[in-house]
Amino acid sequence: MQSVVTSQSQAMDAPKQGLPVTIITGFLGSGKTTLLNHILTNQQGLKTAVLVNEFGEIGIDNELIVSTDENMVELSNGCICCTINNDLVDAVYKVLEREEKLDYLVVETTGLADPLPVAMTFLGSELRDLTRLDSIITVVDAANYSLDLFNSQAAYSQIAYGDIIILNKADLVEEATLNEVERKICEIKEDSRIIRTKRSQVPLPLILSVGLFESDKYFETAADDHDHHEHHDHHDHDDHDHSTCGHDHHDHAHDHHDHHHHDHDHSNHLENDGFTSISFQSDKPLAIRKFQYFLDNQLPATVFRAKGIMWFDESPNRHIFHLCGKRFTMDNDDWKGTPKNQLVLIGQNLDSETLLTQIENCVCSPSLTRGKGFGK
């Protein structure tokens, strides 16, 4: 497991909100522009900024446009679209300096670009304390892929660093071709999180985390905290196999107690193609090592997103948990109320009973040493 640790540079009593950022990368003609339009027209009340190289490339619907100037287009749904002139950092600051609060930032890379330098702009520059790299989404064209394409360094990097792979134009090719492309993708990145789409139509909660836990527009899960927090630890799980194959789940079965509450929630935005959400709540803490084992060894490849407010027996802190693909981040914060666990998973064709049993296996009784920190 690799970690990137970012320091907290501002005073503890004045935390800054980190604007969540998604980077969209992908091959030329794969459907990135269609995906951007999908995001801009289906925000469900969320305010998103999109950074692109050229306005003309995305062809924004004229009925959405409220006003435009040389470098920015404002839309009627509260979203904005900015061009990246020479410097990505300057473009991001232009967005951050707006008086109107935004919920999300989406950055599109050029089709031939390696996404890593763009990601490092948010992880390693002065933007680190103002933004949070939420996910890297890679769009692959199933209809026009070439095996030679997978030999280019840029194409390799786009797949290797992608948290979720969108295999687009899946309706234009045979099943055997889709399987072959997925096999090639998994040769580069084992157990990739792959979503097959047509016309880049993907439920936004699968790629934008603001719909998780913080908005009842997508889920009926009870949530009483809407804060964003700066991320301190970034964990990359590319080295782990998250497949549930080969695990004996009988070892994790145990009695259900009244203090566990879980639902198998369906959302209007997720019902198509077998997408579902699963929620878990408990008024007892989780054992951090058991939860780590769950993430590393039991979480199936068809779980694309997760978010939670986490209470661990080994820590006195409140933890805000985000997961996209195999990448997860964990924020530390102070509890303002009674500690509890709230977790939402979303994915495709999930075995809710097995997943809930595995999460429940992480629950433990509060220990006498609780609150003394990890490893105490």
Residues 113 and 239 both lie in one domain:
no
The rounded percent of the chain whose pLDDT value lies above 70 is 74
Flag whether 252 is in a domain.
yes
Residue 186's domain is classified under what CATH number?
Answer: 3.40.50.300
Count how many domains the chain has.
Answer: 2
Note the pTM of the prediction, 2 decimals.
0.76
Flag whether 11 is in a domain.
no
pLDDT confidence of residue 330: 87
Flag whether 375 is in a domain.
no
Residue 326's domain is classified under what CATH number?
Answer: 3.30.1220.10
pLDDT confidence of residue 368: 64
Residues 21 and 162 both lie in one domain:
yes
Residues 198 and 280 both lie in one domain:
no
Residues 65 and 167 both lie in one domain:
yes
Residues 179 and 237 both lie in one domain:
no
Flag whether 128 is in a domain.
yes
Paired with 299 in beta bridges are: none
Flag whether 103 is in a domain.
yes
Residues 54 and 143 both lie in one domain:
yes
Residues 142 and 243 both lie in one domain:
no
Residues 117 and 189 both lie in one domain:
yes
pLDDT confidence of residue 369: 58
Flag whether 208 is in a domain.
no
Q: Show the 3-state SS of the chain.
A: CEEEECCCCCCCCCCCCCEEEEEEEECCCCCHHHHHHHHHHCCCCCCEEEEECCHHHHCCCCCCEEEECCCEEEECCCCEEEECCCCHHHHHHHHHCCCCCCCEEEEECCCCCCHHHHHHHHHHCHHHHCEEEEEEEEEEECCCCCHHHHHCHHHHHHHHCCCEEEEECHHHCCHHHHHHHHHHHHHHCCCCCEEECCCCCCCHHHCCHHHCCCCCCCCCCCCCCCCCCCCCEEEECCCCCCCCCCCCHHHHCCCCCCCEEEECCCCCCCCHHHEEEEEEEECCCECHHHHHHHHHHHCCCCEEEEEEEEEECCCCCEEEEEEECCEEEEEEECCCCCCCEEEEEEEECCCHHHHHHHHHCCECCCCCCCCCCCCC
Residues 268-289 pLDDT 10s: 455 556 888 899 999 999 999 9
Residues 348 and 250 both lie in one domain:
yes
pLDDT confidence of residue 180: 92
Domain assignment of residue 48, given as a range: 17-202
Residue 66 C-alpha from the chain's centroid: 29
Residues 193 and 251 both lie in one domain:
no
Question: Cβ distance 181 to 140 under 8 Å?
Answer: yes
Flag whether 212 is in a domain.
no
Residues 245 and 346 both lie in one domain:
yes
pLDDT confidence of residue 168: 95
Q: Which residues of the chain have pLDDT under 50?
A: 1-16, 213-268, 375-376
Q: Is 142 exposed, middle or buried (0-12, 13-18, 19+ CB in 10 A)?
A: buried
Flag whether 274 is in a domain.
yes
pLDDT confidence of residue 351: 94
pLDDT confidence of residue 164: 94
Residues 145 and 22 both lie in one domain:
yes
Distances (CA, A) of 350 to 180, 205, 299: 23, 16, 10
The residue out of 180, 202, 224 marking a domain boundary is: 202
